[in-house]
Amino acid sequence: MITCVDRTLDMELVSPVGTRLPVPTHLLYRSQDPLVVEFLFHGLAPSPVSWIISRELLARGTLAPSGEGDVRVWPTGTGPGALLHVLLTPPGGSAHLVAPLPALAQWLFRTYRLVPAAREAEALDLDSHLDRLLNESP
């Protein structure tokens, strides 16, 4: 049984003056945690930098500007050259990354084939998580 959908994608870090630096990125979606996707950015630090983003926010951002606070996502362009912008603003800085929208949308579609939006709550299996938390000894 497939429990994750992953893909390596070349994103680009956009500097304040518009220059772009390639950032190999591993996209990871796990059916056990169906509400989020993980971005693992390689090459920005000695070890991969991980960001967890709402799958719904990412999906909405492929169609129109979405998000507020630490994560904002918006599309630009059309067709094969369309881009998805991801703005991450943790305390003390920000990172503006772009990805090829068609490739990211195709990967995102695969996550919805694994766990459809209407079945996310079932995939969470809250009862077993709660049971494990309540029955663990300190």
Look at residue 130 and give its three-state secondary structure: helix
pLDDT digits 0-9 by tens, 3-32? 999 999 999 999 989 899 999 999 999 988
Query: 32: exposed, middle or buried (C-beta count within 10 Å: 0-12, 13-18, 19+)?
Result: exposed
pLDDT digits 0-9 by tens, 123-137? 565 555 556 667 775
- What whole-number distance in Å separates Cα of residue 57 and Cα of residue 53? 7
More confident residue, 73 or 118: 73
Domain spans of the chain? 4-132
Q: Work out the mean pLDDT of the chain and round it to a whole number.
A: 88
pLDDT digits 0-9 by tens, 28-66? 999 888 999 999 999 878 889 999 999 999 999 999 999
Q: Is the pLDDT of residue 92 over 90?
A: no
Quote the pLDDT of residue 77.
96
Percent of the chain with pLDDT over 70: 88
**CATH hierarchy code of domain 4-132:** 2.30.31.20
- What whole-number distance in Å separates Cα of residue 134 and Cα of residue 20? 48
Reported pTM: 0.83
How far does CA 63 lie from the centroid of its chain? 15
More confident residue, 54 or 117: 54
CB proximity list for 45: less than 8 A, separation 6 or greater: none
Quote the pLDDT of residue 120.
66
